[in-house]
Amino acid sequence: MEIEKPCILVIHGPNLNLLGKREPNVYGKLTLNEINDKLIAKAEKLGIRLEFLQSNYEGAIVDGIQQADGRFAGIVINAAAFTHYSIAIRDALAAVSVPAIEVHLSNIYKREQFRHHSVISAVVHGQISGFGADSYLLALEAIAGIIGGES
């Protein structure tokens, strides 16, 4: 009997479906599907499974987070623009017992002032930003460590 691998929910927020086309000098040239493929390969090495949610709608992301309790071992979230003002996403992350890592492709602290503040950072285990697609891979390693009992 095969033991089921823990599953991580990867959430991609608004406009991330345009990766590869949208400001490649800021966000890189990889598409969202290419990033997801890299994540799947990394997850296999880490012995975990992934499910993906991409939405341009705040409520869909809130629903995904709320449904994570008891279903997912962890969350990797790039809330994109919602990072800076969505109290609803922040409150959803705070309400569930699932550990989460916040991800950003760009270094939000080297960008416009309004991007320097994250309303979700206070309720996640950590934040990784500025490494392009590797930010997601680093977050996957971090969440695997958290759910595996490492900190």
Catalytic machinery residues: 27, 104
CB-CB contact of 98 with 69 (8 Å): yes
- Amino acid letter, 148: G
Q: Provide the terminal-to-terminal Cα distance of the chain, rounded to the nearest Å.
A: 30
CB-CB contact of 78 with 50 (8 Å): no
- Maximum C-alpha span of the chain: 53
